[in-house]
Structure 1
Amino acid sequence: MAAHHVFRKSLLPEARFQTGNGVTLCIDCHGEAHEGFNGAADMAQPIDAQGGEKLERVAELYRVLAHLSHRRHVGRSDYYHLSEQVILKFMMMQGFDLGRPIVGTPIERAWYIWDCSPPCVVEALIRANMPTGGGQARRRA
């Protein structure tokens, strides 16, 4: 078994030791989570432009944590905790209106934020990862 940060600590150091940002994975799954990228993020690029976040995996792991907390009837924030500061940063990263209330536990809110990527974020990721050159489609200036 291996401890894994759900959201990369180099992008969000304040979540490094928050219990809601960690999950235990088997060795194979942990290796898969880091496959293709295992380095420091280039902060000048859009989130996941380097493939380090694997945002679908982030949403899936928060979904699993939310279901586990309900199944175990654990409402204690010391087991599944994410601070309001982290939730607000998640909302900013995903382009959510910061005044928009999102209900649920912090883990449920994190799952919702990462599972419901706003179209502007998806489009930015596609543009950032779109190949250029040759016969490939090019962005308009």
Structure 2
Amino acid sequence: MTAIERGRSGKWILRLWSRFIKTRDSFRCVCCDSTQRIQAHHVIRKTLYPWGAFETGNGITLCHECHGRVHAEFNGQPDMVLPLGAEQGDDQDEWAFLFGLLRDDAVQRGLDEGEFYHLGDHMLKFFVRCQGYKELHQRVMLGEMSRIRFAHEVWRPMPEAWYTNFVSELVRLNL
């Protein structure tokens, strides 16, 4: 039985998530391979998409220095009226880079992408509503593409309509 099913607190589940991410990534920064002062990082911030807080595919181990670079510009609650990235806290190129690092690391180490880098259907559908790429989503549903690869592919290119669709979707979700 999982901690979520047992009704554990969000804080407790987040600790378990952090331990899992660090263990999966061999207690080293996936970006620079450092083993010093490692931290579990959410690729898509919890303040931006809280439903992805416990998704194992939304986590990556970074050292203190690499983690600091990710949060150097802005690390507060996003203003959902502003376009994504206006406060410099949500960088889609960075998301694509981090999801790509995760996938490359999984392939290099022979880890099962579906088992160790899971992104729930809700998160994938959110990506599709923001970005499109229904054909890629269909490939995931048919088992032809991993979820983590999908996340990397979706965030690599940024069509102009994305910014409008993203804010509209967040407003629709009452965030």
Fold match (TM-score > 0.5): yes
Q: Once the 2 structures are TM-superposed, how far is the Cα of residue 76 of structure 1 from its aligned partner?
A: 5.2
Q: How does 1:13-32 map to 2 (within 5 A)?
A: 13-32=50-69
Structure 1 residue matching 2:136: 3-state secondary structure: coil
Q: Which amino acid aligns with 1:101?
A: L
Q: Matched residues in 2 for 1:77 and 1:14: separation? A: 19
Counterpart of 2:146?
105
Q: Which amino acid aligns with 1:18?
A: E
Contact conserved, 2:42 with 2:53, CA < 8 A, in 1?
A: yes
Counterpart of 2:96?
59
Q: Deviations over 1:90-124 (max 9, x none)?
A: 12222x15x433431010000000002223337x6
Counterpart of 1:82?
119
Q: Deviations over 1:61-104 (max 9, x none)?
A: 0001111111222225341110111011112222x15x433431
Gaps of 5+ in 1: 125-141
What is the percentage of aligned positions where both structures have the same residue?
34
Query: Which structure dedicates a bigger proportion of its chain to helix?
Result: 2
Matched, 1:119 2:154: no
Q: Which amino acid aligns with 2:55?
A: Q
TM-score by length of 1: 0.77
Describe the shift of the 1:57–1:76 C-alpha distance in structure 2 as closer, same or farther (beyond 3 A).
closer
Number of equivalences: 121
Task: State the Cα RMSD in Å.
Answer: 1.7
Gaps of 5+ in 2: 1-37, 140-144, 165-175
TM-score by length of 2: 0.63
Matched, 1:93 2:130: yes
Name the structure, 1 or 2, with higher relative contact order (CA <8 Å, separation 6+). Answer: 1
Q: Matched residues in 2 for 1:56 and 1:41: separation? A: 18
